[in-house]
Amino acid sequence: MEVSEVHDEAEREPGWSSLSSLFGLSDLLLDVYRTVVGRPGWGVSGIALHLGVAESQVRACLDELAELSMLYPATYSANPVALNPEIGLAALLNRRETEIQSQQAQLAAARTKAAELAAVYSAQQGSRGNLGLEQLDEITAVRARLTEMADQAREELLCFMPGGAQSQEALDASRPLDEKSLSRGVRIRTLYLDSVRNDRATTEYARWLAGLGGEIRTIPSLPVRMLVVDRSVALVPTDPENSRAGAVVVKAPGVLAALVHLFEATWQQASPLDGAQPCGPGGLTAQELVLLKLLELGHTDEVAARKLGVSLRTVRRMMADILGRLGARSRFEAGLLVTRAGWM
């Protein structure tokens, strides 16, 4: 039998191929051992030539095999002599068994800890959710719950997005969540403020979302930031004027019904993102009429700007333009003209 045939037969022996992964032994180490077993008279140079490796590599393998008690030490013989592998591998087996038992114990401990944490979470949910409400005080908890709710959506996401132009950080965080939801067939309807039409980043994001099947509309003002998932759970801010004050998770059916009704009514009044904004009576846009209404209610320019999602300078420019078109000499007179005409 030729040298190559001896090596090929050893390769075909069942069990050899799994030893490297089972015992953590290198393939070269096993090749050297197989060669020593198949050709007991070969020296280092013959083994190296047969395997196509350097003699130094073969010597290193022989030393390691001797340490594993799979060979007689090289000093005892001119050529390496193989020992029954059960002698050395038995010790390796015992060590691997100990490692596996340790890993199993760690896994069992991890499962116990996970069960304990799940119990704490459930208890906390129960204590806060008796009335269908759950308070989230930290902004990190709010973000985590937003991600969780988006992942759990199966049919529909309804979103109010006040605040005007969205930050790049917020858009980047929303992109993978929206993309994943749409890929599952979830219907997404989002309402932005009209003012986002003037922000390139937000409109590009909205058009990207629409390209994937999302539905986008805009409206002059929105009452509150809101997310409703499958009409079964909603997330709204604790304080509409301060998003960092936390949020409330709502599951009460009555409250959810009211929130969904609010969304649908607002959606019907809104305009498609790429559609023309219709002018109302007197040539005033819906955004301008809402500005007049906010000022009539006693809101300052600063508050009106925040609710419209525009700058303070834009609010004052809009008012100057309205006064000019109405021929009014003051805001008070403009309000009277619009009210008498029944435009608001």
Residues 291, 198 within the same domain: no
Closest CA to 218 of 206, 230, 204: 206
Range of the domain at 137: 133-272
Q: Does residue 118 fall inside a structural domain?
A: no
Helix, strand, coil share of the chain (percent; to 5) = 60, 15, 25
Q: Give the whole-angstrom CA distance, residue 227 versus residue 148.
A: 12
Shared domain for 256 and 329, answered yes or no, is: no
Is 74 a member of any domain? yes
The dihedral over CA atoms of 169, 170, 176, 177, expressed in degrees to the nearest 10, equals 160
Number of domains in the chain: 3
* 312 domain residue, yes or no: yes
Q: Which two tokens stand for residue 174?
A: 């929303």
Instruction: Please tell me the distance from the alpha carbon of residue 281 to that of residue 341, in angstroms, as a whole number.
Output: 9
- 64 and 19 in a common domain: yes
Instruction: Kindly state whether residues 264 and 291 are assigned to the same domain.
Output: no
Neighbouring C-alpha atoms within 13 Å toward the C-beta of 342: 0
Residue 211 falls inside a structural domain: yes
344 residues of the chain, pLDDT tens digit each: 343 443 444 444 444 445 555 566 788 888 888 898 888 888 888 999 999 999 899 888 888 888 887 887 654 456 788 888 776 677 677 777 777 877 887 887 787 777 767 766 665 655 554 556 788 888 888 888 888 888 889 999 999 988 777 888 888 888 888 999 999 999 999 999 888 888 888 889 988 998 889 999 988 888 888 999 999 999 998 887 777 788 999 988 888 998 999 999 889 888 888 766 666 666 778 888 888 888 888 888 888 888 888 888 988 988 888 888 888 888 888 877 777 766 66
**Residues 313 and 267 both lie in one domain:** no
Instruction: Determine the Cα–Cα distance for residues 127 and 192; give it in Å rounded to an integer.
Output: 35
Which CATH number fits the domain that encloses residue 317? 1.10.10.10
Do 15 and 64 belong to one domain? yes
**pLDDT of res. 22:** 53
Residues 144 and 263 in one domain: yes
Is the residue at 124 inside a domain? Answer: no
Do residues 256 and 308 both lie within one domain? no
Q: What gap in Å lies between CA 158 and CA 226, rounded to an integer?
A: 8
- For residues 266 and 144, membership in a common domain is answered with yes
- C-alpha 200/C-alpha 197 separation (Å) is 7
